[in-house]
Structures are given as structure tokens and as C-alpha cells.
Amino acid sequence: MMCRTHGQSATPSTMGKELANFAYRLRRQVEKIEKIVILGKFNGATGNLNAHKTAFPDLDWINISQEFVEGMDIGWNPYTTQIECHDVVAELSLAFSLTNSILIDFSRDMWMYISLGYFKQKNVAGEIGSSTMPHKINPIDFENAEGNLGMSISLFTHFAQKLTISRFQ
């Protein structure tokens, strides 16, 4: 197959290499997402263990808090306010946003590969490809994927920006 740059024929390649590029990019994102540690808190209403220390002043609440949270197989956040700060949710949201950007790139390339005749879509019985040209099969799944992934990127970006901000507590 012929590679294209700026929509113009460039140099030869193989479909396997072009698809491997997307597989590699997506695998890198999955590996990054898998390394993100979900954090938890157990240190009172404002993160100071006030009620805990008042009720049982002789206990080592910092150690108890850490053991309790880590006992649930999540990371311990020793410094919180009223809430666990949601930075992890932001990290995940941004990672999902980048992953979805890669998937948009894949969807657009697949749309183009179909248009160029590298792939042929399967005709599904009962489905009509076009209101005036029923023999035609439009690549609507890739078009829908592009739109839906774009919407999710907007939401994930908003989550990353909004959830990390809190007024005092």
C-alpha cells in the first residue's frame, strides 16, 4: 500500500505496519493507565483525624489509617482535606482522553482506507446504506465513533479540570 502525507501519495508501507502503529500507541496508554494508583483517605472530616484523636487519643491513627486504606488494595493519601483530592480521577480522565484521541485517529484512517478501497465493508441484511442508494454501505460506525470519542474527550477534559479544584475543603 502507499503511505500518504497531507493526503498525497508518499512511500510504500504495509497495512500490518500501519495497524501496528495504532496497536503500539494504544498499548502504551493501557500500560500507563494500569500504573495509576487509586488513592483513598481515612483521616476524618477535614483530614486532621480530630474526632479519632479525641475519641481514642492513645491510638496511632496515622498508622491505623494507612493500614486500613492499604488493606483495601488502594494507595493511601496521608494529606487530604474533606475529600480525597480527585487528582487520580484527573489522571485517569486525561489518560482516557489521550487514548480516545488515538482512537479518533484510527477511526479517521479506517474511514479513509475504506474510501480508498483497502477495506470493504460487509453488507448486513436488512440494513440500508443510503436513503437513495440502497446498494451503498457508508462507514457510519467509524463516523459515529469519531463523534462519540470527541464528546468523551470534552467530558474527560472537563473532569480533569473541574474535579481537582476545591474551595478550601
DSSP 26-39: HHHHHHHHHHPPPE
Catalytic annotation on 6?
yes
Cα–Cα dist 48/152, whole Å: 36
Q: Are 109 and 5 in contact (CB under 8 A)?
A: no
> Residue 14 has which C-alpha cell?
504495509
Within the chain, strands assigned E span: 2-5, 8-12, 39-40, 75-76
Cα–Cα dist 70/56, whole Å: 21
Please tell me which residue in 6, 9, 131, 135 is annotated as part of the active site.
Answer: 6
Q: How far is CA 103 from CA 83, 107, 152, 164, in A?
A: 33, 6, 11, 26
Please tell me which residue in 13, 130, 154, 166 is annotated as part of the active site.
Answer: 130
What positions carry a catalytic annotation? 6, 130
